């Protein structure tokens, strides 16, 4: 029997939009038994033997693991046994830490907004770095558009720093992309879907922040940026957020734990089905 795991933090159960049943249904299309587990239920035991228990019961062998959260020890438990983990811990870390993301993208000649990390944040110095323009302050490991602030003054800057704390970075504000960006889903070596995310009231276009999803005809430049960004970080399943520049595009973020509610709300694109279609080929050699 084909058997895989999908792992979440327990907090996911608080969301009305969790996709547990949907994921299990799409996995079954490929005769895959998919078990949903939570990090908090897992215990790792090492030396002289090693094994993993779930609520006190030892876990039997599985063929693959899909990570829907960030947990180094659990991910590496499977990776060190040669079990495919999507996405790997190393790639998830590169995407989760936004400064690591921009370091990696820049080294790979992928256009990104100017991004700065400093432990001695000073508003006037940052204004000079960004040519006295407004700029973005964001939590370095945030998600869903939370703890992201567009600052216009030292007072707003101080409030943002007070809210986020020391785990923050500073980024060029791309005014041509105010309230809109492109979200591209990548699975393996192909584009799985794409939407335009747009907000009429905020510079943030995240679906989770009230932005709306609209149809977008992806072009070759956007597709290539999404694929190159995903591969640069070593991800197999990603959501790439791309901003509009006056003459092109910037890659803003690459999400290794991307949701897929926005595209399912406006189209028949089925991201979970495509994910398990990819896994069926990647792990079992079918398709």
pLDDT tens for residues 98-142?
A: 999 999 999 999 999 999 999 888 999 999 999 988 999 999 998
Neighbouring CB atoms inside 10 A of 245's CB total 14
**66 and 149 share a domain?**
no
Instruction: Say yes or no: 233 and 272 in one domain.
Output: yes
Note whether 100 and 233 are same-domain residues: yes
Both 122 and 229 in a single domain?
A: no
Split at pLDDT 50, 70, 90, the class of 71 is very high
State phi, psi for 160 to the nearest 5 degrees: -65, -45
Statement to judge: residues 121 and 242 lie in one domain: no
**pLDDT tens string 76-105:** 999 999 999 999 999 999 999 999 999 999
Domain with 155 in it: 115-173
User: Exposed, middle or buried by CB within 10 Å (0-12, 13-18, 19+), for 133?
Assistant: exposed
Confidence of residue 206 (pLDDT cuts 50, 70, 90): low
In a 3-state reduction of DSSP, which class is residue 14? helix
Residues 134 and 220 reside in one and the same domain = no
Mean pLDDT of 259-287: 90
Q: Are 262 and 213 in contact (CB under 8 A)?
A: yes
Considering the domain architecture, whether residues 67 and 194 belong to the same structural domain is answered as no
From 44, 71, 86, give the residue that closes a domain: 86
Total domains in the fold of the chain: 3
Mean pLDDT of the chain: 91
Tens of pLDDT, residue by residue over 157-194, are 999 999 998 889 999 999 999 889 999 999 999 999 99
The answer on pLDDT for 147 being more than 60 is yes
């Amino acid at each position: 029997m084909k058997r895989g795991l999908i792992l979440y933090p327990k907090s996911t159960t608080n969301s009305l939009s969790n996709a547990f049943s949907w994921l299990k249904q799409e996995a079954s299309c490929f005769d895959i038994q998919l078990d949903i587990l939570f990090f908090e239920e897992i215990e790792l035991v090492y030396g002289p033997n090693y094994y993993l228990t779930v609520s006190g019961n030892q876990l039997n062998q599985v063929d693959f693991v899909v990570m829907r959260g960030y947990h180094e020890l659990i991910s590496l438990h499977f990776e060190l046994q040669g079990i495919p983990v999507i996405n790997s811990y190393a790639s998830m870390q590169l995407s989760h830490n936004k400064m690591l993301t921009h370091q990696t993208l820049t080294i790979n000649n992928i256009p990104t907004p100017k991004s700065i990390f400093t432990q001695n944040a000073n508003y006037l110095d940052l204004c000079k770095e960004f040519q006295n323009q407004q700029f973005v302050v964001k939590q370095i490991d945030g998600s869903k558009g939370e703890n992201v602030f567009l600052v216009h003054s030292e007072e707003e800057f101080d409030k943002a720093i007070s809210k986020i704390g020391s785990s923050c970075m500073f980024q060029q504000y791309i005014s041509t992309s105010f309230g809109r960006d492109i979200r591209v889903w990548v699975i393996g070596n192909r584009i799985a879907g794409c939407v335009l995310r747009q907000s009429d009231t905020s510079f943030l276009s995240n679906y989770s922040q009230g932005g709306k999803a609209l149809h977008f005809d992806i072009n070759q430049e956007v597709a290539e940026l999404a694929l190159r960004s995903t591969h640069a970080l070593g991800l197999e399943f990603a959501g790439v957020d791309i901003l509009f520049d006056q003459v092109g595009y910037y890659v803003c973020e690459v999400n290794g734990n991307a949701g897929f509610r926005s595209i399912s709300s406006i189209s028949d694109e089925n991201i979970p089905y495509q994910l398990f279609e990819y896994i069926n080929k990647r792990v079992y050699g079918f398709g």
